[in-house]
Amino acid sequence: MRQISASDLAAWLADAGREKPELLDVREPWETEICKITDSRLIPMSTVPMRVGELDPDKPLVVICHHGARSAQVGYFLERNGFAEVINLAGGVAAWAEQVDPAMARY
């Protein structure tokens, strides 16, 4: 599974000429109440197997968590289940806050 840095993801999202990836946040709801990346979709890690049908396996998918470990696990699961382009956000929202949005709340 590929990894993407927060700064590279921000550049991708800002590029009007490039297809936007789906942003899948696999943290818990209480975590997203503290901070989240705009337009990310919350499907907590424990519910992904039951809700995998809600995701498009042919669309680029960036998986997000707090530091990148849970999202990597979910990403490997999705790859094993037929998802063509799964990318893990290296460092998670913590890296996003550090590299892209210093005003983002941290925990």
Active site residues: 65
Total residues belonging to the chain: 107
Cα–Cα distance, 82 to 98 (Å, whole number): 32
* Whether 59 contacts 83, CB under 8 Å: no
Look at residues 32, 19, 94 and name the one whose alpha carbon lies nearest to residue 60: 19
